Amino acid sequence: MSPQCPPKTAIINSVTKAPPLPRRAKTTQRRGWGEGSISYDPVRGRWDSTVDVERDPSTGRRRRIKVHGATKTEALQAARRARERAAAGIVPSASSVTVAEWLEHWLATVVDGRVNSDLTRANYAAMARTHLVPGLGAFRLDKLAPEHVDRFLAAKAAAGLSRSYISRMRTLLSDALRHAERRSLVTRNASALSVMPRTQPTKERRSLTAADVRRLLEAAKGERLEALLVVGLSVGLRPGELTGLLWREIDLDSNPPTLTVSGSMKMGPDGQVAGRGAVKRSAAGNRTLALPPMAADALRAHRKRQAAERLAVGEAWEDQGLVFASSVGTPLDPSNLRNVFKRVASKAGLDPGFPYLMRHTAVSLLLDAGKSIELVADMLGDDPRTLYRHYRHRVRPVADAGLAMQAVLEGTAP
């Protein structure tokens, strides 16, 4: 070998130690925190995606759920919906949230935070759990369609529920789904897009005629709560306003005597009296009314009767300042008030009614007598439109307004 040539081993080493080729840059991006992973399951023939949700508040450990899809795109979309549900405060399970789960979440968060009345919250919960959950609760929230709600409402109408109750049920579901829309959990409000079914016509509400009122008041003479009936028929107070009246708010010595409405007796979720609360529609509900002489006289007689009762029971009397109370001064139970009204109506030879009939009657008779709707609405502490929609009923057996047309045509009408 020539001394000028490099050794063979040197040639090999020079080849093996050549600088490596530059690596190709990665084209995939790392997923963000919480986006999870995705993989194909050949056994089940589906794509699985694992999503990180909020940490366990008690242990601090990360909680993960798994969602599925027939394709990779469907699995990624399911993962996105699961993250949105978690952001809305719902911890998703392996399956999507159902209507029943969402209604419970809505009752516990939105309703409890927005509705002050215990009775109203209890009514919402009862309506949801008695009707909506059994009928629609098993549907996935994102799969609920207007057709599902249509069939549900039609079944309730076939069962004999009133149109107003079905409408309130539909409104409640629509409110819950509107909250789901705000959280991007559904793309449309299936309840708002549903159709109200045809329902059986409800029995026409009625009012007493002037002759009926005279018979009722005659039958009420000597009753312990005679004054309650007289006041209710005279100025149209709600039953809760009547049972919530306080003596300090009645001035029988002024001219004319007055009565101030500042509170109403409220019912609790258990159906029992919960105590005195604010007047309904408090902006207009707080009002002072002039009492007709017959109502003032009835209250004077009632005050003497109550003083005798208080003296008879002695220390057992619970002084709450109520005008219409039980025999020991406690708030009247609504069932007792209904029983009194039915008993007096039966004694007068009238069909059994309900205490609210007094309010309906006051509105109908005053409007029939020509009093303005605004004046009557002020007396009732309500909206004029509500009076026309709910309280005004025909009290004359013959609609005789057409008789005035003669004077109109002859030019003699005032």
Amino acid identity at 309: E
Q: Is 218 helix (H, G, I), strand (E, B) or coil?
A: helix
Would you list the domain boundaries of the chain?
37-87, 99-182, 213-391
Q: What angle do CA 48, 51, 53 make, to 5 degrees?
A: 155
Among 167, 185, 49, smallest CA distance to 106 is for 185
Lowest mean pLDDT among 88-97, 158-167, 239-248, 401-410: 88-97
Residue 320: which pLDDT band, with cuts at 50, 70 and 90?
Answer: very high
Q: Percent of the chain beyond pLDDT 90?
A: 40
Is the pLDDT higher at 257 or at 78? 257
pLDDT of 308: 95
Task: Give residue-wise pLDDT tens across range 328-343.
Answer: 999 988 778 888 999 9
Mean pLDDT (the chain, rounded): 81
Q: What angle do CA 160, 161, 163 make, to 5 degrees?
A: 120
204, pLDDT greater than 60? no
270, pLDDT greater than 70? no
Among 281, 282, 263, 283, smallest CA distance to 273 is for 263
Q: Percent of the chain beyond pLDDT 70?
A: 76
Task: Give 388's Cβ-side CA count (13 Å radius).
Answer: 6
pLDDT of 369: 83
Alpha-carbon span 133 to 100, nearest angstrom: 5
Alpha-carbon span 189 to 39, nearest angstrom: 33
Q: Which two tokens stand for residue 108?
A: 């516990």
Task: Give residue-wise pLDDT tens across range 160-179.
Answer: 898 889 999 999 999 999 99
Q: What kind and span of H or E run contains 282? A: helix 282-285
pLDDT mean over 148-153: 96
- According to the 3-state scheme, what is the secondary structure of 2-17? CCCCCCHHHHHHHHHC
205, pLDDT greater than 70? no
pLDDT mean over 286-310: 94
CATH class of 213-391: mainly alpha
Alpha-carbon span 365 to 345, nearest angstrom: 18
> Looking at 177-278, which runs of residues are DSSP E strands?
250-251, 258-261, 264-267, 273-277
80, pLDDT greater than 90? no
289, pLDDT greater than 80? yes
Q: Is the peptide bond before 19 cis (omega within 30 degrees of 0)?
A: no
pLDDT mean over 130-149: 94
Amino acid identity at 151: R
pLDDT mean over 255-283: 80
| Superfamily for the 99-182 domain | Tyrosine recombinase, N-terminal domain (1.10.150.130)
- According to the 3-state scheme, what is the secondary structure of 375-386? HHHHHHCCCHHH
